[in-house]
Amino acid sequence: MKYDGFVEIVGEDAYWFIFLSAATSKDAEVYKYNTICYILVEPREDGDFTGVATDGHTLHIVDPLPDVIVEEHGIVEGSYLTLKSEPGRICLAHCAEKLSFPNWKAVVPRSDPKFKTTFQGFSRDFTDRTQMGSRSYLELSMSFPEKTLIDMKYLTALSLDLTWEVSWYGPDKPVAFRCGEHTAVIMTCAW
């Protein structure tokens, strides 16, 4: 894979792409052959950009990406590989060639949900064991009308102390989490 640009985003601006990067596959075996290791930035009809990433189990969307971040960091259409991601900093490489990305729009539920609730993202302060999110996760799991299991590792990407609107479509359907411009669509696990 050839790259034609590199971007380093530091500070609060990094969060938008750290959120997207959390949904990319980290599996070295699929790295060379699959676009699920990349963040897709695609244009919208209004000229703004949408950021999308998936590992096949969870889908993260930022729609739209903030203009100030796009302009300040030179973000352009295409696929980005995460080179390094840590709190408050992300380094990305822009792919020189156009990659084929899964049809992410087909995965986003369009029907009315059967149930709605909220989810308080996990606290960043892991020194207080009572705030690590287990209570929040348990409350979410118990609130669904039917048994629904969500892999907790996907919920940790929704942290940063945000309150998410949750749309439940059924026990074997994806669950949608929304907070402002952020959307996460997470596939449920089998019991």
pLDDT of 187 over the 50 cut: yes
Is 119 or 8 the better-scoring residue by pLDDT? 8
pLDDT above 90 covers a percentage of the chain that reads 64
Give the type of residue at 76: V
List, edge to edge, every strand of the sheet that includes 38-43.
Answer: 3-10, 89-95, 78-86, 38-43, 49-54, 58-62, 182-186, 175-179, 163-168, 115-120
Q: Give the residue-averaged pLDDT of 158-170.
A: 86
Looking at residue 5, its pLDDT comes to 96
Is pTM beyond 0.85? Reply is yes
Q: What is the dihedral of CA 97, 101, 77, 8, to 10 degrees?
A: -80
Looking at residue 141, its pLDDT comes to 85
Looking at residue 159, its pLDDT comes to 66
Question: Contact 92/86 with Cβ under 8 angstroms?
Answer: no
Q: Mean pLDDT of all residues in the chain? A: 87
In whole angstroms, give the CA distance from residue 2 to residue 90: 19
Distance of CA 33 to CAs 9, 30, 39, 58, 107, Å? 26, 5, 15, 19, 21
Looking at residue 171, its pLDDT comes to 87
Helices marked H in the chain = 14-21, 28-31, 67-73, 134-143, 152-156
Looking at residue 26, its pLDDT comes to 76
Looking at residue 31, its pLDDT comes to 52
How far from chain centre, in Å, is Cα 142?
23
Q: Give the residue-averaged pLDDT of 24-35.
A: 64
The pair of structure tokens assigned to 31 is 């790295």
Taking only the tens place, the pLDDT of each residue in 120-160 is: 876 555 444 444 555 677 888 889 999 998 888 888 888 66
**Other CB atoms closer than 10 Å to residue 23's CB: what's the count?**
23
Q: 2-11, 41-50, 125-134: which has the minimum mean pLDDT?
A: 125-134
Question: Contact 66/92 with Cβ under 8 angstroms?
Answer: no
